[in-house]
Structure 1
Amino acid sequence: MMLIEETAPATEALPVARLRDHLRLGSGFGLADDEAENGALAGFLRAAIATIEARTGKVLLTRRFRMQLDDWRDRLGQTLPLAPVVAVERIEVDDGAGTITEIPAASWRLIADLQRPMILPAGVILPNVPRLGSVTVTFTAGFGEDWDAVPADLAQAVLMLAAQFYEDRSFSGSKAALPFGVTALIERWRAVRTLAGRGASRGVR
């Protein structure tokens, strides 16, 4: 499986002001300094958001993704790796010889489950993918365009983690474990990951 993030969260959607308040940072030290500091805070927030999303499989701010598979994991239904899924924009099959065909929307439907969103066939099974081909699913996922749409516990976890990144900014090493408070806040959102692409016959990439 290959998962590509096609769009990024807009800078104005990041809770920079809330992080400043969380850190109890002052203001008014000069516009240039404030702009530089706000840019740094936005970077810490992006890093924290990416970390929380990787640990939970939940997309905090809405954006578009493209998932490419060797084949369906199960032609009875394909699980998507992220949630919540707002919409599936298109599904395309590449026959491996350069011909790409869009699968009609009438032949599948989205089950927008918060833990395991799935693409189900409108009929019995999902359309066939040639053995040397692939299938690409383009979809939009996220709780909302604005930070206020993010669940409170996940939003707080991001602020706490971004604050740690800020405080440890001069530290050159790495810390694999999340702080206990952050782990506790995201625990209920963590989902068991499943393989997304072709099973034992060809594996995933």
Structure 2
Amino acid sequence: MILTEQTPVPEAALPLEPFKAHLRLGTGFGEDSLQDEVLISFLRAAIAAIEARTGKVLISRQFDLNMHQWRDPSAQVLPLVPVASVETVVMIDAAGLETVLVSDMYRLIQDSQHPQLCPTGSLLPTVATGGALRISLTAGMADNWGALPADLGQAVLMLAAHYYQYRDDTGLSGGCMPFGVTSLIERYRVVRLSLGRVI
């Protein structure tokens, strides 16, 4: 399974001005945009880290999911939350010939933890030997920054500020995340099932 982000978070959707205010950067000096590029990079890094930790896509964008077989032809669990729509499902044979499935052959079951692509019949179509499939979908909690839950938005600003403050520190351990950020995002973490246990 290979998940590819087709459209990055648009720069216009990033909270650059709120981030500057959060950092209490000075304004009115004629060089207000001098650090914009580095601030945007910290915002993107913070969004990516929080998405990885929670399993939730914050700002809506498009992804492609490439697979060689269905994990379960009766219901394929999708690795992104929340999934807003499935645009296309493409079957690829061993010779690379692509066939787009008719949309009435499947349906999206939206779920806050484990969205699924399900057949309208009994099973999803069989993938040819040596073939593959590609699911193109849109996932995300909000189309713009203002539509995000306030606690997630605050967590992104706090984590980006942490990255900014310690940008020259190479001694931080991998996966370091401030406690305040962790507590803000805890309720959004995807519940994972393993051998009958919730983890």
Q: How does 1:149-168 map to 2 (within 5 A)?
A: 149-168=147-166
CA contact (8 A) 1:95 1:132 kept: yes
Q: Give the equivalent residue in structure 1 for 2:183.
A: 184
Q: Give the equivalent residue in structure 2 for 1:76.
A: 74
Q: 1:172 aligns with which of 159, 165, 170?
A: 170
Q: How does 1:90-109 map to 2 (within 5 A)?
A: 90-109=88-107
Q: Give the equivalent residue in structure 2 for 1:199.
A: none
Q: What is the DSSP-based 3-state SS (H/G/I as helix, E as strand, rest coil) of the residue aligned with 1:166?
A: helix
Q: What is the DSSP-based 3-state SS (H/G/I as helix, E as strand, rest coil) of the residue aligned with 2:35?
A: helix
CA contact (8 A) 2:96 2:131 kept: no
Q: Give the equivalent residue in structure 1 for 2:197.
A: none
Give 1:105 shift: 0.4
Q: How does 1:16-31 map to 2 (within 5 A)?
A: 16-30=16-30
Deviation per residue, 1:88-124 (Å, 9 max, x gap): 0000011121111111100000011121111010000
TM-score by length of 2: 0.92
CA contact (8 A) 2:64 2:134 kept: yes
Give 1:194 shift: 7.2
Q: How does 1:109-148 map to 2 (within 5 A)?
A: 109-148=107-146
Instruction: Structure 1: give runs of 5+ residues left out of the alignment.
Output: 196-205
**Matched residues, number:** 193
Give 1:34 shift: 2.1
Query: How large is the RMSD of aligned CA atoms in angstroms?
Result: 1.5
Distance 2:123 2:171 in 1: 49
Percent identical among aligned pairs is: 49
CA contact (8 A) 1:81 1:193 kept: no
Q: What is the DSSP-based 3-state SS (H/G/I as helix, E as strand, rest coil) of the residue aligned with 1:178?
A: coil
CA contact (8 A) 1:108 1:121 kept: yes
Give 1:169 shift: 1.2
